[in-house]
Structure 1
Amino acid sequence: MTRVLRAGVAGAGVFGGYHANKYKQASDIDFVGIYDLDIERAQTAATAHGVAAFDDLDAFLSSIDVLTIATPAFAHAAVALAALEKGIHVYTEKPLAVTSRDGEAMVAMAAEKGLVLACGHQERAVFEAMGLYDVPEKPLRLEAVRNGTASTRNLDVSVVLDLMIHDLDLAISLAGCEAGGLQATGRRREDEGYSAVGGDEVNAEVDFENGMKAVFRASRMAAERERTMRIVYPSGTVFIDLLNRKFENGTPFALNSDFAEADIARDPLGTSVFRFLDTVLGVRDRPLCTGAEALQALELGFAIDEDVAF
């Protein structure tokens, strides 16, 4: 008999709505409810999805088996640790946490209790669809640009943990090893009345232990959006436009030029959520991005922020 998982979403904002939609689409899921400290927000979101609203975390956690955390980043760890303590499998949006200590505690508790801890680094699904994880060479160099225009979202973390962390995770997953030395520079917006944690535009150069050099640029004060990556292999170069889902393959490897049409890349969030659920059910060995892998990207992000030293 197939096990039915009781699922909940913490966070009634935009991303909470995206995750709620995925739970509504998932099979073998009883989508129970949405939790938010603001009960009116929780009720509005819950009504839209035909589920219960909660503003009491204990009551919410007592009613579920699996949890997606889509709260502001500063609250990820507190909700995750409370859930893991109760034996609940956790999927959290990125970044995993906002301190190394919290991220380490989350990974340690999940391991101790034998629970699945996954993180929403969903662009791994796009790289998988391209075939980049099957390339038999390690990159020599990686150059990533992730620029966004001015926004009031995610100002509780630096641009490194908000935007660059996607590319940090992708670089680590391609390199297959730890990062070594780094250098970083950055600047902040100076608008009157503007307040955000950390830098708003950061450039970083990172040397990986296998010899790969990576150059990252992220901004939330750019004139226009840009999401590009250039990967240099010994046998050629791949250029990827993540925003427009196009790439140029200058290697001899048979990468998938139609990757944007692959099921896993058309809905990377769905791929990430459904693999988390499949891992909980024992259908898969692992989620798209594990908590331990997300912690690697997080710690590299902290090292970059520390080097910028705002």
Structure 2
Amino acid sequence: MRIGIIGLGKIGSLHLKVCRQIKGIKKLYLVDIDKSKLLNYPYPTFSDYRKLKDLVDGVIIATPTSTHFPIASFFLKSRMPVLVEKPLTPTLKEARSLVRLAKERRTLLFVGHVERYNAAYISIRKLIKSPRFIECHRLSSYPYRSLDISVVLDLMIHDLDIILDITKDKVKKIEAIGVNVLSPSIDIANVRLTFEKGCVANITASRISKERIRKFRVFSHNTYISLDYANQIAEIYQKKDKTIQKKILKVKKQQPLERELREFVTLVKKKRNPLIFATKAKNALELALKIQKVIEKNI
């Protein structure tokens, strides 16, 4: 299989590192408008992504979010399978357009919400029943990248995607506050979501923290589940016979990005194009943009 990677910044370089390890990928092509990023690689390189059209079986788009729509549109129109890094696009209108195009062309539109592939999350996903309260903390140091988008679209969207996955419910109320500290857009944000069935989620995301924390907690009747994404640790606490019993779940650790890329490669190889990946990404983006709008009103 031949894969093209468009954008060789931090995220694109991670994709390249993992793609090198996947046996099913026989040839790689690299694209970046900054030619200095393409030096010293033993692969064909280009500054124009359009030159990949007849050379590859699928593309990975790891460019700034503002460029996702035109690049993804170009390949989808050519019926080329696409993996786009999150967020799918900066606007809901563009996201809807890409989802519609993928459906019309019956072409795979895969979106890089990598936490779906975290082994710890996979281990607890089916154990979550009727969540009542969810608490998320996602803190990172200043990234010096993705500054064209807010922390809501950069980091919080990971947790929004997971929360929508486990609640399977509509948001009734959004309360949010955020501050732009080091960049022109929001760098730290806290959100409280109330769902129609009564679940409440409290989410904090920051890209100006000294610590790197990615933790997720879910509370339901007689059960509390704790998830550490960074260390791929999952714990479950349950009330039994008037005592609290703790169980550390067995987690077969694996790099989430590797799981994600292996699934993408498998889908491309089998010529499958499920729309669910793009639809879920669009839903997470829609919620993230609503949150961002509430924050901007409060600044």
Question: Fold-level match, TM-score > 0.5?
Answer: yes
Contact 1:148/1:225 (<8 A) preserved: yes
Question: Following superposition of structure 1 onto structure 2, how do residues 54-73 of structure 1 map, counting pairs within 5 Å?
Answer: 54-73=46-65
2:257 corresponds in structure 1 to 269
Match among 95, 108, 120 for residue 103 of structure 1:
95
Contact 1:238/1:247 (<8 A) preserved: yes
| 1:143 partnered with 2:135 | yes
1:10 corresponds in structure 2 to 6
What letter corresponds to residue 162 of structure 2 in structure 1?
Answer: L
Relative distance call for 1:296 and 1:183 in structure 2 (3 A) is same
Relative distance call for 1:175 and 1:254 in structure 2 (3 A) is farther
Deviation at 1:152? 1.4
What percent identity do the matched residue pairs reach?
28
Deviation at 1:126? 2.1
1:248 corresponds in structure 2 to 235
The 2-side partners of 1:129 and 1:307 are apart by: 29
| 1:282 partnered with 2:270 | yes
| 1:27 partnered with 2:23 | yes
How many residues align? The count is 292
Relative distance call for 1:62 and 1:210 in structure 2 (3 A) is farther
Moved more, 248-257 or 207-216: 248-257
The 2-side partners of 1:228 and 1:129 are apart by: 11
The 2-side partners of 1:176 and 1:256 are apart by: 26
What letter corresponds to residue 75 of structure 1 in structure 2?
Answer: T
Relative distance call for 1:255 and 1:268 in structure 2 (3 A) is farther
The 1-side partners of 2:113 and 2:174 are apart by: 22
What letter corresponds to residue 254 of structure 2 in structure 1?
Answer: R
Deviation at 1:164? 0.6
In structure 1, the gaps of 5 or more residues are none
2:104 corresponds in structure 1 to 112
Deviation at 1:278? 1.1
What letter corresponds to residue 33 of structure 1 in structure 2?
Answer: Y
Match among 213, 220, 224 for residue 233 of structure 1:
220
Contact 1:202/1:219 (<8 A) preserved: yes
Give the TM-score of the pair, scaled to structure 2.
Answer: 0.90
What letter corresponds to residue 234 of structure 1 in structure 2?
Answer: H
Instruction: Classify the secondary structure of the residue corresponding to 1:9.
Output: strand
* Structural RMSD (CA): 2.3
Deviations 1:81-105 (A, max 9, x none): 1111111101111111111111111
Match among 221, 224, 249 for residue 211 of structure 2:
224
In structure 2, the gaps of 5 or more residues are 240-244
2:168 corresponds in structure 1 to 176
Relative distance call for 1:283 and 1:111 in structure 2 (3 A) is closer
What letter corresponds to residue 195 of structure 1 in structure 2?
Answer: S
Deviations 1:151-200 (A, max 9, x none): 312111101011111111111111123323211111111xxxx533x211
What letter corresponds to residue 25 of structure 2 in structure 1?
Answer: I
Contact 2:59/2:80 (<8 A) preserved: yes
Moved more, 226-235 or 20-29: 20-29
